[in-house]
Amino acid sequence: MRWGLLVAACSFRCVKRQLSFPQQWATFARAWYLLDARMQPPGKIAAVTAVRLEGRHKPIYHALSDCGDHVVIINTRHIAFSGNKWEQKVYSSHSGYPGGFKQVTATQLHMKDPTAIVKLTIYRMLPKNLQRRTMMQRLHLFPDDVIPEDIQKNLVEELPQPRAVPKRLDEYTPEEIAAFPMVWTPLFAGNRRLTHYGQIHNIKVDH
Amino acid sequence: MAAPSLLRGGLRRLFAGLVGNGRASPPARALREVVEVTEGNTTTIEGRIIEDAEVPAPPNPSGQCPICRWNLKHKYDYVDVLLLSQFIRSDGGMLPRKITGLCLEEHKKIAVCVQMAHRAGLLPNHRPLLPEGHIPKKPKLNSELILKRGIPLETALQFLSLRNRVLARRRQEAPLHAVQAVSDKRGQARAAEARGPPQPCQAPRDA
């Protein structure tokens, strides 16, 4: 849906126009978006997803219009927390019965259910109203990049990843590695003497 | 292994002459790799000279360390793995400053960036040697960015010796963060006293 064109067409000086049936149908249609969560922090994924689920990315947004879209998130198993959060972040729950307070680390929760972290993050970012459950029903999470056929047919657009994933050393081609110059050479260490290092016996000059 | 002991023996012989000569500069000898060739009854062990590739001239030859010479003083980050990999050993540790020729502040910055790159999983082939049959207890999860103050437990455990590994594991049961924060501060204070006042890299300031 080209929201920019719609906004430009309805300028404030023109007469109030009623949308034609196909135009109305196209404006209020529900779209399906795909998002790859590989090497992404779950918070940033949730921020982008919550906006789409609510419908806040549309100029025709209203809380009562039920204009949210579907979002399909793949590779939730491969999300990346920054810092020590895998060990430090604690997810708490209470079953309602005495002695039913449970606290698990992010690692333990992720091992048990690879989609739980992303699901909880998005649930807590949505507005705390009755529409939240409906929006969560329009969220589809998959731990790997295997998607059912019927959902795959509905997908319209892939959203860009919120975090730029850095390139690993083994992902560089040999040409790129050769093109990068060696910044220092082993012997001429600033005209200084090389002292004896008996322990280093497998010193390798890496490119 | 024959090869590393031969290399060590060669280095010792090279520097034994130096100690006697006093102030004389070391003779310029190239790095050699030890090659063992068996032809029938004859085994030939020779040190073949490694030909260094043609290195382009650095833009600022009057710099004291490689970073200044190539005008990279504030220009690199933990994602620049091609640069960082030139200063690390094959098991991921930093090369000594006296060999690489880096000034102290740049060496520390590179060390921090290397640690962050390890934590982000950008150097997958520079892992420390673990004994065979070692089963990692922790599940492999994606992580990102770690700042200098909070050294992650897994990185510390990998690079410490066995004794310190045992001590670190014992510390894991006790409240970890308070103890680590205090010991980090003490270690930093002791290191600061030993270092003396910081000597900046004497390089012309670039615009």
**CB neighbour list of residue B128: distance below 8 Å, 6 or more residues apart:** B91, B92, B93, B158, B159
Say how far apart CA A54 and CA A21 lie, in whole Å: 24
Task: Give per-residue pLDDT as tens, A76-111.
Answer: 999 999 999 999 999 999 999 999 999 999 999 999
Instruction: Judge: A84–B52 Cβ closer than 8 Å, yes or no.
Output: no
With contacts defined as CB-CB under 8 Å, which chain B residues touch A168? 81, 121-124
Q: Name the pTM for this structure.
A: 0.67
**Confidence grade of residue A4 (pLDDT, cut at 50, 70, 90):** low
With contacts defined as CB-CB under 8 Å, which chain B residues touch A206? 85-86, 88, 90, 126
Among chain A residues, CA nearest to B56: A181
Instruction: Judge: B143–A80 Cβ closer than 8 Å, yes or no.
Output: yes
- Quick one: average pLDDT of B81-109? 93
Task: State the helix-helix crossing angle for B162-173 and B176-195, rounded to 10 degrees.
Answer: 140
Q: Any idea how long chain B is?
A: 207
Instruction: Judge: B86–A206 Cβ closer than 8 Å, yes or no.
Output: yes
pLDDT at B188 over 90: no
Which pLDDT score, from 0 to 100, does residue B57 have?
A: 83
With contacts defined as CB-CB under 8 Å, which chain A residues touch B137? none
Contact A71, A115 (CB under 8 A): no
Instruction: Judge: A206–B90 Cβ closer than 8 Å, yes or no.
Output: yes
Mean pLDDT of chain A: 87
**CB neighbour list of residue A172: distance below 8 Å, 6 or more residues apart:** B81, B82
Q: Which of A76, A62, A54 is nearest to A135 (CA)?
A: A54
Which pLDDT score, from 0 to 100, does residue B197 have?
A: 67
pLDDT at B137 over 70: yes
Instruction: Judge: A169–B124 Cβ closer than 8 Å, yes or no.
Output: yes
pLDDT at A2 over 90: no
- Quick one: average pLDDT of A159-163? 96
Asked if B194 reaches chain A (Cβ–Cβ under 8 Å), the answer is: no
Q: Which two tokens stand for residue B206?
A: 């670039």
Helix (H) or strand (E) holding B44, with range, is: strand B42-49
Of A163-167, B1-5, B71-75, least confident by mean pLDDT is B1-5
- Quick one: average pLDDT of A37-53? 97
Asked if B131 reaches chain A (Cβ–Cβ under 8 Å), the answer is: no
Three-class SS state of B63: coil
Task: State the helix-helix crossing angle for A116-125 and A42-54, rounded to 10 degrees.
Answer: 50
Task: Give per-residue pLDDT as tens, B64-80.
Answer: 888 999 999 999 999 99
Which pLDDT score, from 0 to 100, does residue A186 have?
A: 74
**Confidence grade of residue B143 (pLDDT, cut at 50, 70, 90):** confident
Q: Which of A188, A195, A202 sits opposite B98 (nearest CB)?
A: A195
With contacts defined as CB-CB under 8 Å, which chain B residues touch A81? 141-144
With contacts defined as CB-CB under 8 Å, which chain B residues touch A180? 82-83
Say how far apart CA B69 and CA B59 lie, in whole Å: 6
pLDDT at B175 over 80: no
With contacts defined as CB-CB under 8 Å, which chain B residues touch A39? 142, 144
Which pLDDT score, from 0 to 100, does residue A189 have?
A: 41
Q: Which two tokens stand for residue A167?
A: 């390139």
Q: Which of B96, B100, B139 sits opposite A111 (nearest CB)?
A: B139
User: B99 or B194: whose pLDDT is higher?
Assistant: B99
pLDDT at B154 over 50: no
Beta strands in chain A (DSSP E): 32-36, 70-74, 80-82, 90-94, 101-105, 139-141, 157-158
Contact A180, B82 (CB under 8 A): yes
Instruction: Judge: A107–B141 Cβ closer than 8 Å, yes or no.
Output: yes
Asked if B49 reaches chain A (Cβ–Cβ under 8 Å), the answer is: no
